[in-house]
Copies of this chain bind each other. A is one copy, B any other.
Amino acid sequence: MDSLRDCASRQLLDRIGDAWSMLIVTHLRGGPLRFTELARKMEGVTPKMLTQTLRGLERDGLVTRTVHAVVPPRVDYELTPLGHSLEDVVDAITAWADTHIAEVQAARGSYDSKLSTAKNSS
């Protein structure tokens, strides 16, 4: 990756890397879902954060938003072909995370306790 491309890719990397975006891609791979269905699957996300993240994914061409003219109106979110192309990447990332989360948590604990020892002795 050279520096010119770095500049252009960085925003894209931020989108792919965003944890909520990755969870949305994971949950939509089986087919379209309504907003409330997505919200229920993604525990811990606020409606505001979910709306923002979906809008970002829609803008990037990864997700489509379809309003159905029924009463009450139904809104479905669905992966585009470009969105589906992210599945392998999301799988690689979540596999790494699942495999290494214990090591990372151990490293964090050790870093934090060293930091607090250094603070207490100074």
Contact = CB atoms under 8 A, between A and B. Distances in A.
Q: How large is the interface on A (under 10, 10 to 19, 20 to 34, 35 or more residues)?
A: 35 or more
Number of copies: 2
Given A6-B42, A10-B19, A61-B104, A89 B93 contact: yes
Interface stretch (A30-38, A66-74, A95-103): A95-103
A62 B111 CA distance: 12
Contacts of A26: 1
Chain A at the B interface: SS class: helix
B19 A107 contact: no
A93 B88 CA distance: 10
Contacts of A8: 101, 105
Interface of A: 1, 3, 5-19, 22-23, 26, 41-44, 58-62, 82, 85-86, 88-89, 92-94, 96-98, 100-101, 103-108, 110-112
A19 B23 contact: no
